[in-house]
Each structure stands twice: as structure tokens, then as C-alpha cells.
Amino acid sequence: MGKAWKFGNSISTDVIAPGRYFHLRSNLPELAKHVLEPARSEFASQVQRGDFVVAGDNFGLGSSREHAPMIIKIAGTNAVLAKSFARIFYRNCINIGLPAITCDTDKIDEGDEIELDMEKGVVRNRTKKTELVFSPLPPVMNRILHEGGLVAYIKAHKSLEI
């Protein structure tokens, strides 16, 4: 269970992992201190382990930099919930083992206590006492996420299967 941090529509990877910290990309814990800084400068220092990033449409548009979902994860976030995701960002989340959940985030307010049940495919809003059902991931992504991400998957199988 964790707290919802609300963000708007079209949060780009330039906002999640700003280019002016390009030189920190090989030092992810340092880069994570600036995660989502232009959108909410207090986020990186105040996010608690198990919290959720909750956004509107087209979260993660822009660059392919995988550092963006990496530092959301390193900052302590449990999962990203959004109305929709940009394609590359979505794939990156699953590859690094960060659940990216597509659901109606209008039903979640800032600070709501959230619980994610991947098995049942529901987001429980403990504050509002409601449940949001989400569609399961495509099978191939589900398998990658289930095995802990693409590195773990390839380490285990030395191949790609679908």
C-alpha cells in the first residue's frame, strides 16, 4: 500500500529525467534525486517506498531513455498508473520490472491510499473504498514482468520466446 502522487497529461521523459542531468545517467541514485523535478520539485525528496505515480494521458512520451522509469523505480515507487502510456516508456517499464498500469486515474486523488493487486488485475483505492479494474498485460510482457524484467528473463532462458 502507498500514497498517490498525481501528475497531469503528457509528462515527457525530459520532465521525468531532465537532459541537464545527462551526466548522471551512469549514477542512477544521484539522477533519481531529480526525478520529475520540473513537474513537482518536492517529489524526489518526499516520495515514500511503495508510493504510486498516478498520471493522465500519454505518460512518458519522448525519448527512449530507460533511465526515466529506472529512477521512478529507484525513488521508491511501486508502480506507475496512467490513463495511457507512450509506447517506448511502457515497454521500458516492463523490461525493468516496474508495473505500468493503464486505468481510469481520474478516480484517484492526490494522497489517496492505493493498493495494487497484479494477480486479480485491480487497483484498490483504500481512501475512497473503490476498486479499479485494469486489463492484463499482453502475455509476452506479463511473462517478462513476472520473471523480474528482461535481463532476468534472458539470463534465465538465453533466448526470447512468446
Partner 1 sequence: MSGKTLSEKIIGEHCGKEVRAGETVIVNVDLSYVQDGTGPLTVRRMKEMGIEVAYNPKKTIFFIDHASPSPRMELSNDHELMRDFARKSGIILSDVGNGISHHNSLEKYACPGDIIVGADSHTCTNGALGAFGTGMGSTDVAAAIALGKTWMRVPETYLVEVNGRLPKGVYSKDIILHLIGTISSNGATYKALEFTGDTISDLSTAARSTMANMSVEAGAKAGLFSPDSKTRNFLKMMGREDAFMELKSDEDAVFEKRIQIHVDELEPLIAVPHLVDNVKKISEIGKVKVNEVFIGTSCNGRLEDLHIAASIMKGHTINPDTRVIVTPASRRVYIEALKDGTIETFIEAGALVTGAGCGACDGVHLGILGDGEVCLATQPRNFKGRMGDPDSFIYLGNPAVAAATALAGEISDPREVM
Cβ atoms of residues 7 and 53 within 8 Å: yes
Q: Which range, of 11-19, 45-53, 74-82, 102-110, touches partner 1 by CB under 8 A?
A: 11-19
| Residue among 8, 22, 48, 131 that touches partner 1 (CB under 8 A) | 22
How many other CB atoms sit within 10 Å of the CB of residue 84?
Answer: 15
Q: Which range, of 43-51, 74-82, 105-113, 135-143, touches partner 1 by CB under 8 A?
A: 135-143
By CB under 8 A, tell whether 115 contacts partner 1.
no
Residues paired with residue 56 on neighbouring β-strands, in sequence order:
none
Task: Report the distance separating Cα 62 and Cα 7, nearest Å.
Answer: 16
| Residue among 92, 112, 123, 132 that touches partner 1 (CB under 8 A) | 92
Q: Which range, of 101-109, 114-122, 124-132, 143-151, touches partner 1 by CB under 8 A?
A: 143-151
Residues paired with residue 132 on neighbouring β-strands, in sequence order:
123
User: With left for phi above 0 and alpha for psi between -120 and 50, is residue 18 left, alpha or beta?
Assistant: beta
For residue 127, the 8-state DSSP code is T
Which residues contact partner 1 by CB under 8 A?
A: 10, 12, 14-15, 18-20, 22-27, 37-38, 57-58, 61-67, 84, 86-88, 91-92, 95-96, 138-140, 149-151, 154-155, 158-162
